[in-house]
Amino acid sequence: MAKYFDLEHCVADEEIDAQQHVHNLRYLQWTLWAAGEHTRAGGWDAKAALEEGFGWVVRHHEITYRAAAVANDELVIRPWVSEVARFAAKRKSASCRPRDKTVLARVETRWVYIDLRKHKVLAIPQALLDQLSVCDPSPPLPW
C-alpha cells in the first residue's frame, strides 16, 4: 500500500447545505471514500473479505473542521495510515483545497478488524498487516 493516497473531488451543488457551504457530514463521507480507495489500491478485496465474513468497521471518528468548502471547489482528500496495533489501525486524512492552500478538515478514524458473523473484534491477520504501510511522519499537503 502506498504511504498515502489522493482522492480528487469537485464539490457538487447537492453537497451544499442551507448555509451555502458543504454540509459537515460530507467531509466524513469523502474521508470514508478516500480510505476505501486507498485500501483497494493497496490490494484489499472488500468483496472477497465480505464473502468470507470479515471486514473493517469504524470504532471512532474525530473531525476538526477548519474552513468551509463551497460548490465547484476542487478538493484533494489525502488519507494515510498513522498507526497499527494488534486489533486496530488508525487512519488520518486531510481534506484540502489546493487552489488557495487551505486545509478544510482533519479526520482521525480508528478502524477495527472484525468477524462479521460473530460481531467480534479480531487480531489483524499478518497478511493484512503486510498490506498496511504506516506513514510516519505525516505526508506533505498536496501543494
Cell of 90: 488508525
Q: pLDDT digits over 12-69, tens only?
A: 999 999 999 999 999 999 999 999 999 999 888 999 999 999 999 999 999 999 999 9
Domain-embedded: residue 113: yes
Domain-embedded: residue 40: yes
- Rounded to an integer, the average pLDDT of 81-102 is 97
Domain-embedded: residue 139: no
At a CB cut-off of 8 Å and minimum separation 6, what does 120 contact?
114
Domain-embedded: residue 142: no
Band of residue 111 on the pLDDT scale cut at 50, 70, 90 = very high
Other CB atoms within 10 Å distance of the CB of residue 8: 11
Domain-embedded: residue 143: no
Tell me how many domains the chain contains: 1
Residue 93 confidence (pLDDT): 98
Residue 1 has pLDDT above 90, yes or no: no
3-state secondary structure of 135: coil
**Domain of 47, in residue numbers:** 7-131
Residue 102 confidence (pLDDT): 98
Check which CATH number belongs to the domain holding 78 and give it.
Answer: 3.10.129.10
Q: How far is CA 19 from CA 103, 119, 125, in A?
A: 20, 39, 45
3-state secondary structure of 5: coil
Q: What's this model's pTM, rounded to 2 decimal places?
A: 0.94
Q: pLDDT digits over 126-140, tens only?
A: 989 988 999 999 999
